[in-house]
Amino acid sequence: MRKSLWVSGLALAATAVLSSTGTASAAGTSMSTDSIFNVGTDIQAGTYTTTTALSTCAWARLSALTPSATAVLQTGGAVNGSASVTIQSTDIAFFTTGCGTWNLQVSTGSSSLGSGSASGLLSGLLSGTGSSS
């Protein structure tokens, strides 16, 4: 029940952020707020890491600025307060919530902690369903 409430709350937050018309203000190499960041405008492509994630951290690489699950390229969350993701130059945007401050790394490796596919957490949130494990 508690996980269901958490997923419902996160779904509402994701929908609100994805529906907003404004853009996030961030330095080109870091993200410190929960928002959607436009790749190439708000942030640079590359590998980002965070070590300050909350237990409710969720992120997604997006192919479009739409609240549709089809726009989700990859999703993930935090493992022990840390996460890593490689944002491609072909991505349109990056969504983050509860993940703390993301910083661009000098090395651009291709691994990512807590990553999933488009059928992952954000996809379930956008469709109004969530998986419980």
Q: Read off the pLDDT of residues 95-119 as tens digits, 9 standing for 90 and up.
A: 999 999 999 998 644 444 444 444 3
Q: What's the pLDDT tens digit per position in 27-67?
A: 489 999 999 999 999 999 999 999 999 888 999 999 999 88
Tell me the residue ranges of DSSP E strands in 7-104: 30-31, 35-38, 46-50, 58-62, 72-77, 83-87, 93-97, 102-104
pTM over 0.85: no
Q: In the 8-state DSSP scheme, what is residue 105?
A: -
Beta-carbon contacts of 1 under 8 Å, excluding residues fewer than 6 positions away, are: none
